[in-house]
A and B are shown apart, each in its own frame.
Chain A
């Protein structure tokens, strides 16, 4: 037996909890190891002291009224009665289990509060997720394409203000994207080319066309954006269109 194993067995030896074979092996080890011997003595001493821990020193008369107090508490529990108003509205049990009652009310409040808070955050986050800036930030072009198919959302998205830098970055990312995710680039290209504004039917056709294999022209859009790219500048698609019209 080595010292590592011996150290694990020493507390058991001190409390006489070892099988005879292990005990003999451990004692053999202790005969030749002074470090473990010292530890064994400490464990033995500790075990002995623990067994000698004194009982509590009760004062005279400590138990005189012990039983009477128990019976008083028992009868007090049995006699606990709810106030009249609680009994009238069917809440008589509150008097018997006040802690449970408070815990139940508290749990209900937490439930109601969490319901309202989660709804608030869900809807507010849902609202945030549907801005053009949000779509661009998370590069969710497919989601943007779906949103743009809804006329009302489309109007809103075209008017949403977006930092110019985000627009530029978004378009650069779009160059690397697969065909079906190039919606925004085509949308902006066509918008700048003044084909969508005020022409909802043409817009629908463009949307359908956007999912076909068409060439992309980012250069015109990027050129337009880079000219107005300044710190803090925010622009919407509609503004780009107006600018393009003015420069055409």
Chain B
């Protein structure tokens, strides 16, 4: 999700006007960034309803920030950061995360035992397998992987979003890619 702020906030003398202006700005931001935020949360949580809920919560926290509104160039990074952190917390709390792990394992096992070695079938199902494998990643690795490899952010941008060092991003990225390769190797045939 990348873009610029649609409006700039002009300093208003009247408090009422200022608040109305802020509310209007907030609505513009929500309308512009709701879809990318839900998509980001969905990649983290693998559940659309949870993704919607976390995206709304991210907007609420964004609205309640003390330094609201932030600078225009910071909006995207801030929204991403809040969303990813909320999703990581959610993953850690959800028992479903463990079910995802076992569910993902079941998906992979099912396909492993399938007699259908047709490449076209595996191609179509690769998406499901990759999603199942990504669901198995630890929250931090998943966050780095989703931001870097799926959403296409640079290592520096990913580090800014996650408020960590670039080295940390590289390490988690390496681990995520290594794990995915390991889990998906049986299905990556010539």
Contact = CB atoms under 8 A, between A and B. Distances in A.
A70 B42 contact: no
Contacts of B65: none
A42 B48 contact: no
Contacts of A50: 130, 149-150
B155 to A, nearest CB: 8
B188 A56 contact: no
Contacts of A57: 48
Given A70-B59, A74-B60, A56 B51 contact: yes
A87 interface: no
Interface string A2-26: 0000000001000100000000000
B5 interface: no
Contacts of B43: 53
B31 A67 contact: yes
Main secondary structure of the interface of B (DSSP, over half): helix
A71 to B, nearest CB: 9
B31 A56 contact: no
Nearest to A42: B188
B35 A53 contact: no
A38 B188 CA distance: 10
Q: Which of A15, A46, A51, A52 has the most CB of B within 10 A?
A: A46
Given A11-B177, A42-B188, A49-B126, 8 more contacts: A38-B190, A49-B130, A53-B130, A55-B39, A55-B42, A63-B35, A66-B34, A74-B60
Interface of A: 11, 15, 38, 41-43, 45-47, 49-58, 62-63, 66-67, 69-70, 73-74, 77
